[in-house]
Amino acid sequence: MKKNYAGFSVIELMVVVAIAAILVALAAPSFVKLIRSTSIASAVNTFMADARFARSEAVRLGGAVVMCRSDAPEAANPSCGTGSGPNGNGWVSGWIVFKDLDNNGAKDSADPLLRVQSPITSVNSIVDSVSTKLVFTATGRLKSLSSGTKTLQFGSAPDFSNEVQRVVCVSLGGRVRIAGDGYTSCS
């Protein structure tokens, strides 16, 4: 009497494993690009939401509201950072939004803190072209911007290709927009 065994042979199992390995090898680069693209999109959306919030609060409160890069935004008494950050990677160290009661552009103990953004670890750099702060006036416009538009570059090589990087523009009128990928400029 012959017994029939149900199951897979070793050869069948090896063929299935080989096909699965090929499919994973083909899908992995696309998946990495998707993760990086999502990380950039999240950072851009967070920055734009906070910039729009700062602008609307300046209009609502009738005075200067500052959004500035901070080296330690989660500190007990955070302050605006100077330069391009501890590692030269700009705004990824985080930022704060506050009502500037004395119009000096610096966070003093009396200035109410409106919002805090902790460091963004999913993006390697957010570098701007002009300064480390946005000062919105009561009309929603930017105060003392030396050029017509402020440019921020989200992501840099080698972690993010130019197709994945994003350029964000802040106009003198205080409006924030995405210009495009790493090949784009705000002009």
CB 99 within 8 Å of CB 65: yes
Residue 153, beta-bridge partner list: 127, 167
> For position 119, what pLDDT does the model report?
92
> For position 87, what pLDDT does the model report?
62
> For position 85, what pLDDT does the model report?
61
What CATH number does the domain located at 10-181 have?
3.55.40.10
> For position 145, what pLDDT does the model report?
59
> For position 147, what pLDDT does the model report?
60
Question: Is residue 119 reached through a cis peptide bond, with omega within 30 degrees of 0 on the bond before it?
Answer: no
Q: Is 83 left (phi over 0), alpha (psi -120 to 50) or beta?
A: left
Long-range contacts of 164-171, Cβ-Cβ distance < 8 Å, separation of 24 or more? 164/33, 164/36, 164/37, 164/40, 165/40, 166/40, 166/41, 166/44, 168/44, 168/47, 168/48, 170/51, 170/134, 170/142, 171/142
Mean pLDDT, consecutive 10-residue stretches, the chain (187 aa), reads 75 91 83 88 95 96 92 89 70 93 88 93 83 88 75 88 90 90 83
Q: From CA 121, how far away is CA 177, in angstroms rounded?
A: 22
> For position 31, what pLDDT does the model report?
83
